[in-house]
Chain A
Amino acid sequence: MAEITLVEAINLALARAMEEDPNVVVLGEDVGINGGVFRATAGLQQRFGPERVIDTPLAELLISGLCVGMGAQGLRPVGEIQFMGFIYPCIDQLVNHASRLRNRTQGRLTCPMVLRTPYGAGIRAPEHHSESTEAMLAHIPGLRVVTPSSPERAYGLLLAAIRDPDPVVFLEPTRIYRAMKADVDDTGDALPLDVAFILREGRDLTLISWGAMVKETLAAAEELAADGIEAEVIDLATLKPYDEEAVLASVSKTGRCVIVHEAARTGGFGAEIAALVAERALLSLLAPVARVTGYDTIVPLPRLEQQYMPSVARIVAAGRGAVQFG
């Protein structure tokens, strides 16, 4: 067992999947000799060769479209988009092809592909490198959208995504690529998709988050605990389809729900969760559902990006507000 970062866990899972299954191929810009701009694919081309770790031309639409063709042929392509800001040419392929190939051929052709991309703000990157538009992707029927929040979950969920028979968009929180280390044993064991992870149990308040914001959410739970407020922390992990029952069970128990996400508020995935709670757990609620999110602005360039992102203080304040309501 070794202490590794989240991005190293991604690398470990990719290597494991490629070792296990000759149908797994990795493709993207600079994924070969360079090992990817974040080194997520480091060493893979040396180990598995240029036909299984493919340096593609600089064309994102192509990467996603190739995945569809390869997937239909029984390969297990894992495409990399260098930053989420460059994923938008792939939307056509995701909406019109990857997500519906199985359905529109009534099971004759399938699309077992993974499209990986780093996402989110907080790394002082140039323009277009900081957005979190996961809600857009989670709106697409037939797709899975998965995001890990720790090295262990990065390893287990990526393995699950690659082995899944349907298309998965795998969002990797850039800000925590190297912000934490954990023991990850290369056992080849996947973690379940479509299942939320309860990272901390509590009876007073439910905090729901995913991706990089799980870090601040856990820190906020610590701070609240010092005040005697026991917060339950849920990492949604799979946004599409998401674990409604885990959300409902927790909110029914605590009666208070605060949703934390980095993405802009309007139409963010938090709205979906708030709607679910309103529809199916309204009478359990002791306080209004609260959202702590990025603002409805363009993610600012690095000088202001910290002010854009939900802070521990904002989460703590929302948690206290929920507990003190009424």
Chain B
Amino acid sequence: MPRDATLHAFHFESDYVLPTGARLKPAPTSSRFFQAAGRVPDMTKESAADQELPVVARFEVRGRAYLGPDGKLLRPPPAFASDLDLLRSFYRGMVLTRTFDLKAVSLQRTGRLGTYAVSLGQEAVAVGIASAMREEDVIVPSYRDNGALLWRGMKMEEILLFWGGDERGNRSSGPPHDFPYCIPVGSQAPHAAGVAFAFRLRKEPRVAVCLFGDGATSKGDVWEAMNFAGVWKLPVVFVANNNQWAISVPLRLQTAAQTLAQKAIAAGFAGEQVDGNDVIAMHAAAADAITAAREGKGPRLIEALTYRLSDHTTADDAGRYRPPEEVQARWKEEPIARLRSYLVGQKAWGKSDEEQLVAECHQRVEAAVERYLATPPRPSETMFDHLYAELPAVYASQREELERTSRGAKRG
């Protein structure tokens, strides 16, 4: 049996739900990445009233992609890509993230988890970025960055605990200095700048990495943070996870800018557009930006072009605003099949590897789910804990009242 046919025998469609249930062939190598770059006419030039006037500034935005949607190389990748163990670890990280995400959705559907933000199709952004960070760096994530936090060491049961409605999840086994999920869109960007300022002040070779979505780039928060980071050449990397949709609002209604990457230029530093479904490109872009930031060369913005294959959250139904054909087409570009094709082509991955990995991921996720479900709720009155370093005396009676009434309720 030729190797490709073997691949089909354990195609991910059996394990990872597709909207149609159909098997999809990978798209040809001409990546949508490049089409996306030219999706809007450049109105900035047309608005120049007088072509005779001298050009006073000129800027460029570069695009980065190595691995096409069919798993074939578009251009020679950076040196790290010859480390097949590293690529396999990326692959494992992405598959674990997807397995976990899909399990979380099924938990929500069966009433065992609260609203959950799925990262389906965006696993390469998470893994590419997080794998380029050091432990001492600080991640400042949005609510969709489950994969990055998993890579950083947050346990699956902790993620479930948080989305299952328990603050203790945010204690996190990841680096203790990492920020928790940020829910109000974009409001975490100034935190990353503040963290980076602390690094600069203390002369520590550390980097803050801030993740947000395309919608967040419309907020002043993100601009204010980038602007300040530019002024102070702060060691911070901003990552715009451009998954094309902010709930129901498509990118074309979010901005008329040709790229999101160019928003960095106004803040005085470079922005780069990266194929966010190509984990090699994501890791390379992140490693470059993080290294530069660590060396005192200032911030950078990475626009990761990807696609939200899922609903916005489990509380959303994207079918109301998004044609299924669009989603189906985007499935051909998703990051996991692409890297698998490449690894298979490199004879670095095979059927038994896949079966073993899938089994292992399921087993790990199931074990985490068990631990999550076995965690009893904390006593009611602990909602007063960690409100202040020390609970002000004036609130002691409220805490006692809650303790008394919740004990009474239990007896009743």
Contact = CB atoms under 8 A, between A and B. Distances in A.
A67 interface: yes
B389 A102 contact: yes
Contacts, number: 140
Interface string B182-225: 01100101111111111111000000100000000000110011
Contact of A73 (B167, B194, B389): B194
Given A57-B224, A66-B191, A108-B170, 10 more contacts: A54-B197, A59-B224, A65-B187, A65-B194, A66-B193, A72-B194, A73-B138, A75-B201, A92-B184, A141-B387
Interface in A74-96: 74-75, 77, 89, 92-93, 96
Task: Kindly list the 6 A-B residue pairs having the minimum CB-CB distance in the complex, ordered from nearest.
Answer: A69-B194, A65-B190, A73-B198, A69-B191, A62-B224, A66-B194
B228 A241 contact: no
Contact of B177 (A64, A71, A73, A194): A73
Interface string A94-135: 001100001111111110000000000000000000000000
Contacts of B194: 65-73, 77
Contacts of B241: none
Contact of B168 (A77, A106, A164, A166): A106
B321 interface: no
Given A57-B231, A109-B180, A97 B388 contact: no
Given A70-B198, A92-B184, A242-B394, A65 B167 contact: no
Contact of A108 (B176, B224, B385, B395): B176
B190 A241 contact: no
Contacts of B201: 25, 51-52, 75
Contacts of A51: 200-201
Interface string B357-388: 00000000000000000000000000001111
B198 A75 contact: yes
A164 B390 CA distance: 10
B187 A103 contact: no
Given A109-B180, A166-B388, A61 B221 contact: yes
The secondary-structure label for the interface of chain B is helix
B179 interface: yes
Given A56-B228, A73-B194, A110 B389 contact: yes
Contact of A106 (B171, B191, B389): B171
A302 interface: no
Most buried by B among A61, A71, A92, A144: A61
A243 interface: yes
B187 A96 contact: yes
Contacts of A93: 187, 190
A23 to B, nearest CB: 9
Interface size bucket, A side? Answer: 35 or more
Contacts of A70: 194-195, 197-198
A181 B208 CA distance: 45
A321 interface: no
Given A72-B195, A75-B201, A104-B170, A65 B221 contact: yes
Contacts of B176: 108
B3 to A, nearest CB: 47
Interface of A: 25, 51-52, 54, 56-57, 59, 61-62, 64-75, 77, 89, 92-93, 96-97, 102-110, 141-142, 144, 164-166, 194, 241-245
B187 A62 contact: no
B369 to A, nearest CB: 21
Interface string B390-405: 0011110000000000
B227 interface: yes
Contact of A102 (B187, B386, B393): B386
B172 interface: yes
Given A166-B388, A241-B395, A108 B228 contact: no
A194 B228 CA distance: 35
B392 A109 contact: no
Contacts of B392: 194, 241
A72 B200 contact: no
A89 to B, nearest CB: 8
Contact of A62 (B171, B199, B225): B225
A69 B209 CA distance: 12
A69 B224 contact: no
Given A51-B201, A92-B184, A104 B394 contact: no
A97 B191 contact: yes
Contact of B386 (A62, A96, A103, A144): A103
Most buried by A among B183, B192, B197: B197
Contacts of A243: 394
